[in-house]
């Protein structure tokens, strides 16, 4: 994992056409020791500054008028990959563009601050700084530019395919199995790979992906179009059932409760836990209490330690535990902390996690 030494200044380049937004972002990030912020009002200006000093992280507004932020992002990923955080307002009509940016190589998305710094909530500033630091540890890969004919709609984007495993004709396990997944930076692509490898009769999944509200619903919809299983944003009272993947809504904690032989989802408000909302720890702890040995906990790419404490509780309750390996993680933070706690049964590359989940829930397929 690429380490950012404590003594090293983290250089962040904010690209946004709004002078107000540039000022807000500079104020929020510059308050943190060890972060230097430069700004650019236009990608052409940004390119000139990048030649003078390469930033560790770029915070990119992709909704700039008269400027195609996605094209600039693609150029960065094709020429000299640098970790890019896309910054977007909480608007449903912008969610599709954000998802395209993640598909094109951006490592994460952050919520655009309120109009004035006085309106920018303290906890939002915490999450923004965490995401910037997490992006600095990311290892983006070079990507070929996507032809212009494929830029019009997200449905036109050609993604690498991961064949779904064959569907069984009969169920060999009871419906009280549950799989809980936690992920953050780099997790949108990792989840796509994992979920596209699941058959229709897989156990029920509940997923926490650190992502702002509004975007989680569109993310779930996008995955639903790509996967054999049903994928949707979780709602309070949803039943966890085979063949269904529930994505925790942004800015809400998601837990599960046992209701007889069934698991039900609870979606609740609450303070940040492990500096996040939704928090992986909150989900994992509820799964430990509700499902115990009937659960599988999976922790994947992301910065920080969210999920490690919860995975400890799942392991103590008898659950199986899996962590993504360093090689396939964009940021090997969350998995490493869990592994260091000694509570992970298997450390696997991303492409093998789906098979391992099926094996541990009694739905093993031929290798």
Give just the sign of the alpha carbon dihedral 219, 224, 229, 234. positive
Domain count, the chain: 2
Query: Are 116 and 232 contained in the same domain?
Result: no
Query: Are 134 and 182 contained in the same domain?
Result: no
- Residue 155: band (very low, low, confident or very high) from pLDDT cuts 50, 70, 90: very low
Query: Are 241 and 356 contained in the same domain?
Result: yes
Q: Could you tell me what percent of the chain has a pLDDT over 90?
A: 66
Query: Are 182 and 139 contained in the same domain?
Result: no
Q: Does the pLDDT at position 303 exceed 80?
A: yes
Q: Is residue 289 part of a domain?
A: yes
Full-model pTM: 0.81
Query: Are 187 and 256 contained in the same domain?
Result: yes
pLDDT score recorded for residue 125: 81
Of 144, 170, 190, the one marking the end of a domain is 144
Does an H or E element contain 23, and which? helix 19-30
Give phi and psi for 258, each to the nearest 5: -90, 130
pLDDT digits (tens, 9 = 90+) for 35-55: 999 999 999 999 999 999 999
Distance CA 165, CA 278 (A): 30
Q: What angle do CA 167, 161, 194 make, to 5 degrees?
A: 60
Higher local confidence (pLDDT), 322 or 131:
322
Highest average pLDDT, of 137-151, 161-175, 211-225, 323-337, comes from 323-337
Decide if 287 contacts 264 (C-beta within 8 A).
no
Range 263-277 average pLDDT: 94
210, 276, 325, 329: the active-site residue: 210
**Is residue 10 exposed (0-12), middle (13-18) or buried (19+ Cβ within 10 Å)?**
buried
Higher local confidence (pLDDT), 248 or 364:
248
Higher local confidence (pLDDT), 130 or 322:
322
Decide if 268 contacts 253 (C-beta within 8 A).
yes
pLDDT digits (tens, 9 = 90+) for 202-261: 999 999 999 988 899 999 999 999 999 999 999 999 999 999 999 999 999 999 999 888
pLDDT score recorded for residue 127: 84
pLDDT score recorded for residue 167: 41
Query: Are 253 and 130 contained in the same domain?
Result: no
36 is known as an active-site residue: no
Q: 16: domain range?
A: 10-144
Does an H or E element contain 224, and which? helix 215-226
Q: Is residue 154 part of a domain?
A: no
210 is known as an active-site residue: yes
Q: Is residue 367 part of a domain?
A: no
Q: Is residue 58 part of a domain?
A: yes
Query: Are 200 and 329 contained in the same domain?
Result: yes
Distance CA 140, CA 5 (A): 19
Can you give the CATH number for the domain in which 227 is found? 3.40.50.180
Q: Does the pLDDT at position 6 exceed 50?
A: no
pLDDT digits (tens, 9 = 90+) for 327-363: 999 999 999 999 999 999 999 999 999 999 999 998 7
130, 305, 306, 325: the active-site residue: 306
Least confident of 136-145, 150-159, 205-214, 293-302: 150-159
Q: For residue 92, how many other CB atoms are within 10 A of its CB?
A: 10
Of 95, 119, 144, the one marking the end of a domain is 144
Q: Is residue 140 part of a domain?
A: yes
Of 118, 144, 170, the one marking the end of a domain is 144
Q: Does the pLDDT at position 4 exceed 50?
A: no
88, 154, 184, 286: the active-site residue: 184
Query: Are 67 and 188 contained in the same domain?
Result: no
Q: Does the pLDDT at position 118 exceed 60?
A: no
Q: Is residue 4 part of a domain?
A: no
184 is known as an active-site residue: yes
């Amino acid at each position: 994992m690429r380490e950012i030494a404590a003594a090293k200044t983290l250089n962040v380049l904010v690209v946004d056409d709004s002078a107000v937004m540039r000022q807000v972002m500079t104020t929020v990030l510059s308050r943190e020791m060890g972060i230097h912020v430069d700004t650019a009002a236009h990608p052409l200006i940004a390119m000139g500054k990048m030649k003078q000093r390469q930033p560790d992280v770029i915070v990119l507004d992709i909704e700039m008028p008269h400027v195609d932020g996605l094209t600039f992002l693609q150029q960065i990923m094709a020429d000299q990959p640098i970790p890019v955080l896309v910054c977007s307002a909480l608007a449903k009509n912008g969610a599709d563009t954000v998802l395209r940016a993640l598909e094109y190589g951006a490592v994460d998305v952050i919520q655009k601050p309120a109009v004035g710094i006085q309106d920018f909530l303290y906890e939002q500033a915490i999450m923004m700084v965490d995401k910037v630091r997490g992006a600095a540890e990311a290892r983006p890969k070079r990507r070929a530019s996507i032809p212009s004919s494929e830029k019009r709609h997200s449905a036109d984007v050609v993604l690498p395919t991961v064949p779904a495993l064959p569907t069984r004709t009969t169920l060999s396990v009871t419906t009280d199995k549950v799989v809980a997944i936690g992920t953050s930076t780099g997790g949108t692509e990792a989840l796509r790979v994992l979920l596209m490898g699941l058959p229709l009769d897989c156990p029920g999944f509940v997923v926490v992906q650190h992502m702002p509200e509004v975007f989680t619903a569109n993310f779930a919809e996008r995955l639903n179009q790509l996967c054999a299983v049903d994928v949707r944003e979780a709602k309070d009272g949803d039943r966890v059932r085979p063949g269904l993947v529930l994505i925790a809504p942004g800015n809400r904690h998601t837990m599960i409760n046992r209701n007889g032989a069934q698991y039900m989802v609870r979606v609740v408000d609450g303070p940040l836990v492990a500096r996040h909302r939704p928090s992986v720890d909150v989900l994992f702890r509820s799964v430990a209490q509700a499902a115990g040995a009937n659960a599988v906990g999976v922790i994947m790419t992301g910065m920080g330690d969210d999920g490690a404490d919860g995975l400890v509780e799942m392991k103590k309750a008898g659950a199986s535990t899996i962590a993504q390996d360093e090689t396939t993680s964009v940021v090997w933070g969350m998995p490493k902390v869990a592994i260091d706690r000694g509570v992970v049964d298997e450390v696997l590359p991303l492409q093998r996690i789906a098979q391992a989940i099926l094996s541990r829930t009694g739905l093993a397929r031929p290798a």
